[in-house]
Amino acid sequence: MRRLATVLASVGLIMGSAAFAQAQEPSPAISSAVADTARPAADRARDALRKPAEIVAFAGVKPGDKIAEIAPGGGYYTRILSKAVGPQGKVYALMPAFFANRPGGLDAINALAEQYGNVEVVVIDYAATELPEPVDLVWTTENYHDLANGDIATVNGWVFDALKPGGIYFVEDHSAPGTGTSATNTLHRIDPEAVKQQVTAAGFTLEAESDLLHNPNDPHDVNPREAEPTSDKFALRFRKAG
């Protein structure tokens, strides 16, 4: 059965579209990271709908991984990723320069980094910044649509260069099927097909997609802030050739 599943997935890739991945059992490291009682209560209250254990497992996070997290926001995933990769791993929290230029704009993420010893804050300029080391995974959740409002080719090129050979680019965002990039600024959503086109144009292969966060009842025509926490979301796992 495993051999058959592998063959079918390979056929899907050859045909140019990745198969939808079945949910996999989170590793003990991931389960422990999500169950950590040190996480804020507000974060833990969102877990039933965000399904972080399953999403982190789908992304392929492992102990010891080096991860670059784009625009971590309040650190919902930063805390989980930090614990999941463990003391031998690293999480680079990539903060846009406009946050750094605001008075106190980095205070919250700097405080988180002090609490989690393997988190390092990096003020990012995608045209110039280099990380101290190649990473295993670049992670972005619910903000690719914002990146697409700017020079997305430069961003995706930076991601490609930042990854080790065989590294993973994980993208999860609010879905707007059939809209291309026309809803990125107005509805803060993006067409998953547009993401696939942009990321594969940077040299990546679409390896798998997940419908863990799919909600068929979302009308797709409202800002996710109004539809949250039940907006329809897609999750894509891309890989850089080894």
Predicted local confidence at residue 21, as pLDDT: 72
Give the confidence band of 229 by pLDDT, cuts at 50, 70, 90: low
Q: Is the whole model's pTM more than 0.95, yes or no?
A: no
Per-residue pLDDT band at 230 (split at 50, 70, 90): confident
Tokens of 18: 């990745």
Note the helical H segments in the chain.
Answer: 2-14, 28-35, 41-45, 47-50, 52-59, 76-85, 97-100, 107-115, 144-147, 152-162, 192-201, 224-227
Helix axes 152-162, 192-201, angle to 10 degrees: 60
Give the model confidence (pLDDT) of 50-93 as tens digits: 999 999 999 999 999 999 999 999 999 999 999 999 999 999 99
Q: Which residue has the tokens 């697409």?
A: 148
SS3 166: strand
Report the distance separating Cα 141 and Cα 59, nearest Å: 11
| Cα 127 to Cα 157: distance, rounded to the nearest angstrom | 9
Ordered by where they begin, the domains of the chain are 23-239 (3.40.50.150)
Q: What DSSP element (H or E) covers 37?
A: none
Answer whether 81's CB lies under 8 Å from 52's CB: no
The alpha carbons of the chain give a radius of gyration, in whole angstroms, of: 17
pLDDT value at 20 more than 90 = no
Please check the confidence at residue 182 and state whether its pLDDT lies above 50.
yes
